[in-house]
Structure 1
Amino acid sequence: MSRASNVHGSAVLIGGTGILVRGPARSGKSALCLSTLRRAASLGLDSALVADDRVEIEAGPHGLVMSAPAALRGLIEISGVGIVPEREAGSAPLALVVDLCAPDAIDRMPEEADASVSILGIPVRLVRLPARSAAFGADVLVSLALADARAAG
Structure 2
Amino acid sequence: MRGVKGYLILFAAVGALGVYGVSKLARGIRNNNPLNIERTSDQWLGMAVDQSGDARFVVFDHEIYGIRAAAKILKSYASRGVNTIEKIISTWAPSHENHTESYISTVSRRTGIPANQVVTESDYPAILAAMIYVENGFNPYSEELIREGVRLA
Task: Identify whether the pair has TM-score above 0.5, normalized to the shorter chain.
Answer: no
Range class of TM-score, shorter chain: under 0.3
Q: Relative to total residues, which structure has the larger strand share, 1 or 2?
A: 1
More helix by share: 2
Q: TM-score, normalised by structure 2?
A: 0.25
